[in-house]
């Protein structure tokens, strides 16, 4: 168990394409679970592979504890990897799969049995030790893969999309299990994912990446409520934050031609991007004073809520309402922003104001 410190990492594969990772620095505390979150091609897996020693940076340093591990091979870094593919030995039983990395380390039989039995109990695999991977469900196979990492007792766990091959219900169950497991072991953990729900539910902190650059680092609540820029605002949340073009005029901001929203007094005049979470926009089926009329495009019942899509010029905004509110296409509804829900961004740079 150890902190991980990434200092000014650069990585390129193709000069024409440019750097995949650009001057990336990140400190991960001892015992912390951090997610590298972003779209495909943002550099998150490359960053993980550099920590693991499967890729080497063009520039920069990687510290695990007090040691710079860049010169070290993967096997000498005291890390354990869990991949998207479970990579279990199909001809071995669960017990044999768990024992294998310990036999490579030439531990005593007594120590191997103790570690394997502890991991099996922790992961709920005790009754399945004599089965082979082909006899297990996807979730059970993933638990075996996690167990094989746990028995090694590494300083750092590195996980690359560990839940992406599971179906939706099992994925929700496993992310809870994985979070509890990390708390139980206390091992510093880095998870790569493109699924913001996984990152939000499991992480102590999230590093949101795009085009090889960390856009924002913080705990899930802070990133959700206070995105650093329009990329983070549009990537985090399901549905994501509504981003609406506006114009600062007089004592407010005008959106959609006539929707006047109260704005801070010190905001300079000119174009601006207005952000509002779907759950922070109130919707009424009847006209209300000072509420803005909008036209419904479509409603999406979700069981516990309804997502109402409203026309905003050529674009749409989404509002989350009570499940019984289901306005039909082309109906007129009235909307208003909850106090304190407004987020403002520079229309040119996209940075939060």
* Residue 305 pLDDT greater than 90, yes or no: yes
Query: H or E segment at 9?
Result: strand 4-12
The answer to whether 275 touches 234, Cβ cutoff 8 Å, is no
> Cα separations (Å) of 137 from 71, 72, 185?
39, 36, 24
pLDDT tens digit string along 277-297? Answer: 999 999 999 999 989 999 999
Domain regions of the chain by residue span: 4-226, 242-346
* Residue 321 pLDDT greater than 80, yes or no: yes
CA 211/CA 225 separation, integer angstroms: 23
C-alpha angle 308/340/276, rounded to 5°? 35
When computed from its CA atoms, the radius of gyration of the chain, rounded to whole angstroms, is: 24
The position carrying tokens 């209300």 is 288
Give the pLDDT of residue 241. 96
The position carrying tokens 């994912």 is 193
Average pLDDT, the chain: 91
Give the pLDDT of residue 331. 97
Tell whether the torsion through CA atoms of 330, 278, 196 and 236 is positive or negative. positive
Residue 243: strand pairing partners: 275
180 contact partners, CB below 8 Å, separation of at least 6 = none
CATH class of segment(s) 242-346: mainly beta
Fold of 4-226: Rossmann fold (3.40.50)
171 contact partners, CB below 8 Å, separation of at least 6 = 163, 164, 198
Give the pLDDT of residue 234. 94
* Residue 218 pLDDT greater than 90, yes or no: yes
* Residue 60 pLDDT greater than 90, yes or no: yes
Residue 275: count other Cβ atoms within 10 Å of its Cβ.
20
Bridging pattern class, strands 343-346 and 67-68:
unpaired
Crossing angle of the two packed helices 109-123 and 168-185, in degrees rounded to 10: 130
Residue 83: count other Cβ atoms within 10 Å of its Cβ.
14
The pTM for the full model equals 0.88
């Amino acid at each position: 168990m150890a902190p991980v410190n990434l200092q000014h990492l650069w990585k390129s594969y193709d000069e024409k394409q440019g750097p995949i990772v650009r001057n990336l620095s990140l400190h991960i505390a001892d015992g912390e679970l951090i997610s590298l979150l972003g779209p495909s091609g943002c550099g998150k897996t490359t960053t993980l592979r550099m920590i693991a020693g499967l890729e080497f940076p063009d520039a920069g340093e990687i510290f695990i504890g007090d040691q710079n591990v860049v010169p070290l091979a993967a096997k000498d870094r005291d890390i354990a990897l869990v991949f998207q593919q479970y990579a279990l030995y199909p001809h071995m039983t669960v017990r044999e799969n768990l024992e294998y990395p310990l036999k490579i380390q030439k531990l005593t039989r007594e120590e191997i049995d103790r570690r394997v039995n502890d991991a099996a109990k922790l992961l709920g695999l005790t009754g399945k030790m004599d089965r082979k991977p082909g006899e297990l469900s996807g979730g059970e196979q993933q638990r075996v893969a996690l167990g094989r990492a746990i028995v090694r007792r590494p300083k750092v766990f590195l996980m690359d999309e560990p839940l992406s091959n599971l179906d939706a219900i099992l994925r929700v169950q496993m992310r809870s299990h994985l979070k509890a497991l990390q708390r139980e072991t206390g091992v510093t953990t880095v998870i790569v994912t493109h699924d913001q729900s996984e990152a939000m539910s499991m992480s102590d902190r999230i590093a949101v990446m795009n085009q090889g650059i960390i856009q924002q680092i913080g705990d899930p609540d802070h990133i959700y409520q206070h995105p650093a820029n329009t990329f983070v605002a549009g990537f985090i949340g399901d549905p994501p934050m509504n981003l609406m073009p506006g114009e600062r005029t007089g004592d407010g901001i005008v959106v959609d031609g006539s929707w006047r929203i109260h704005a801070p007094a010190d905001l300079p005049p000119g174009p601006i991007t207005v952000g509002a979470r779907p759950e922070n926009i109130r919707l009424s089926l009847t006209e209300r004073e000072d509420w803005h009329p909008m036209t419904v495009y479509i409603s999406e019942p979700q069981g516990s809520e309804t997502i109402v899509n409203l026309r905003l010029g050529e674009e749409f905004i989404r509002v989350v309402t009570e499940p019984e509110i289901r306005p039909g296409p082309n109906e007129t509804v009235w909307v208003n922003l909850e106090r304190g829900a407004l987020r403002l961004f520079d229309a040119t740079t996209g940075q939060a104001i």
